[in-house]
């Protein structure tokens, strides 16, 4: 019965993408479900995975909106 | 002061709908708030209910995106 | 596949209790699951309900810890 | 490593706005991160803040959708 | 900057244990962090994983407290 | 109606403490509620703050339980 929530910023893994792709989401779901089966013996069909994409201006880190903080860090 | 969060997939209850309707949301809010009044004696105006609709590709079950898992199950 | 989280303060409904009883928890679980069946046609066995009890000093309301705020309000 | 989640209704602070502005979000992120530094000595770069805007019809209060409840209250 | 929350019932994987062990928790943390590195290229040190153990009487499934539902199902 | 959740590890701010103190919790509640009043004009009595303390072995960072990761980082 595990419930796993994955919060990530809404961004693509390559410059031409604006968000996580359906394939990447499916890989996250598969990977997390198999991990819970392996480590805690939870049957696949008892695990729920919820992916929440958060706009970058809604995610703060280092006291700043995430993109500004990353820019500052990389300088 | 209860805070209730209801996460559901963004789907309609009939084939012509793409999401939960405003009427259905109001019924969930009313039902949950009355339940907390009845069971735990929480005044209606102290209960907050937050409904989060999750795109079906962002919800995993059985190691798969939810729609794929349902299709597999119904076979 | 709904996932419902109910956050309440860890308190009893009568003066001699320190927390929500097992019977009250079962009533919340039953009530929420039946509501989702009724309103959104979600099968009972697809709904998960998680009750989180929060110590009163960890719950803030009105800018104060919840018990202090209630005391202030009732004066 | 604190993780702070701020859930608010998707509304503007002035009648001409439909949602929280980027400036207001940045002010929330800054304020919360500095508070955790001041009170718990958490370094700014270890705090994550996630702002979740919730459509008003998805937020219930007083047993009603939030806008209806506010209207009723103000009468 | 992903934040992953894993909610599971507070139970052991063998009859002599009452809860998830520190080793199992470490395996979940490692597995989830590596998955996010692999699928979304998130650096290990940007991922936070929070494991929340929930008492079995606080987890509802099938309209019943989880242990009762499991008993009913296995009959 | 904002709901703010603050997740922190269960640790003291001085070596002789095992957890966040009641005074620190009250300061967090006050600070967050005033911030929402200032930035979004939310009345103090409409804001709820929930502080969740998480055991250090249940918090992962950098692919490791948090205390191990911190030790590694400080070397």
**Domain locations in chain D as residue ranges:** 3-73
**Cβ contacts of A24 on chain E, cutoff 8 Å:** 39-40
pLDDT for residue B1 is more than 90: no
The helix or strand, by DSSP H or E, that contains position B33, with its residue range, turns out to be helix B22-40
Residue B65 among the catalytic residues: no
pLDDT for residue E1 is more than 90: no
pLDDT for residue A75 is more than 90: no
Identify residues of B whose CB sits under 8 angstroms from chain F CBs: 1, 3, 48, 50
Residue C49's SS3 state is strand
pLDDT band at E75 (very low <50, low <70, confident <90, very high): confident
The residues of C assigned a catalytic role are 2
- Among E5, E6, E62, most C C-beta atoms within 10 A, so best to mutate, is E62
Looking at chain D, which residue has its C-alpha nearest residue A68?
A: D26
Q: Do B48 and F50 touch (CB under 8 A)?
A: no
Looking at chain D, which residue has its C-alpha nearest residue B33?
A: D63
Residue A52's SS3 state is strand
DSSP codes, E1-57: --EEEEEEES--SSTT-SS--HHHHHHHHHHHHHHHHHHH---GGG-EEEEEEE-GG
Q: What distance in Å separates residue F72's CA from the closest CA in chain D?
A: 15
Position C47 scores a pLDDT of 97
Position D60 scores a pLDDT of 98
Q: Give the dihedral of Cα atoms B50, B53, B58, B59; nearest 10 deg.
A: 80
CA angle, C71 then D2 then D5, to 5°: 65
Q: How far is the C-alpha of D23 from the C-alpha of A24, rounded, in Å?
A: 32
pLDDT band at D75 (very low <50, low <70, confident <90, very high): confident
Residues sharing a CB contact under 8 Å with residue C68, sequence separation 6 or more, in sequence order: none
Position E17 scores a pLDDT of 93
Q: Do A62 and D51 touch (CB under 8 A)?
A: no
Q: How far is the C-alpha of B13 from the C-alpha of A30, rounded, in Å?
A: 27
DSSP codes, chain F: --EEEEEEES--SSTT-SS--HHHHHHHHHHHHHHHHHHH---GGG-EEEEEEE-GGGEEETTEEHHHHHHHHT-
Q: How far is the C-alpha of C42 from the C-alpha of C32, rounded, in Å?
A: 11
**Pairs of CB atoms within 8 A across B/D:** 51
Looking at chain A, which residue has its C-alpha nearest residue E51?
A: A4
Percent of chain D exceeding pLDDT 90 equals 93
Q: What is the mean pLDDT of residues A18-37?
A: 97
Q: What is the mean pLDDT of residues B6-26?
A: 96
Which residue is catalytic, options B2, B15, B43, B65? B2
The residues of F assigned a catalytic role are 2
Position D1 scores a pLDDT of 83
- CA of D60: how far to CAs of B50, C5, C46, E21, F39, in Å? 6, 14, 23, 39, 22
Q: Do F25 and C61 touch (CB under 8 A)?
A: no
Q: How far is the C-alpha of E20 from the C-alpha of E35, rounded, in Å?
A: 21
Q: How far is the C-alpha of A28 from the C-alpha of E47, rounded, in Å?
A: 14
Q: Do F33 and C63 touch (CB under 8 A)?
A: yes
Per the CB < 8 A criterion, the answer to whether E2 and E9 are in contact is no
Residue C54's SS3 state is strand
Provide the H-helix boundaries in chain D: 22-40, 66-73
- CA of B44: how far to CAs of B6, B33, D74, E60, F49, in Å? 17, 6, 16, 23, 19
> For B8, which of C2, C24, C66 is closest by C-beta distance?
C2
- Among D27, D28, D47, most F C-beta atoms within 10 A, so best to mutate, is D28
**Cβ contacts of B54 on chain D, cutoff 8 Å:** none
Per-residue pLDDT of A3-12, as tens digits, reads 999 999 999 9
Q: What distance in Å separates residue B30's CA from the closest CA in chain F?
A: 17
Average pLDDT, chain C: 96
- Among F22, F39, F49, most D C-beta atoms within 10 A, so best to mutate, is F39
pLDDT for residue D42 is more than 90: yes
Q: What distance in Å separates residue C62's CA from the closest CA in chain F?
A: 4
Q: Do B1 and C59 touch (CB under 8 A)?
A: yes
Per the CB < 8 A criterion, the answer to whether F1 and B48 are in contact is yes
Q: Do A33 and B60 touch (CB under 8 A)?
A: yes
Quote the radius of gyration of chain E (alpha carbons, Å): 15
Position A65 scores a pLDDT of 98
Per the CB < 8 A criterion, the answer to whether F49 and C60 are in contact is yes
CATH hierarchy code of domain B3-73: 3.30.429.10
Tell which wins on pLDDT, C51 or D73. Answer: C51
């Amino acid at each position: 019965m595990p419930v796993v929530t994955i919060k990530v910023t809404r961004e693509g893994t390559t410059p031409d993408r604006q968000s996580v792709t359906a394939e990447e989401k499916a890989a996250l779901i598969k990977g997390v479900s198999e991990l819970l089966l392996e480590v805690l013996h939870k049957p696949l069909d008892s695990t729920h995975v919820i992916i929440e994409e958060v706009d970058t201006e809604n995610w703060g880190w280092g006291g700043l909106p995430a993109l500004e903080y990353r820019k500052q860090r990389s300088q």
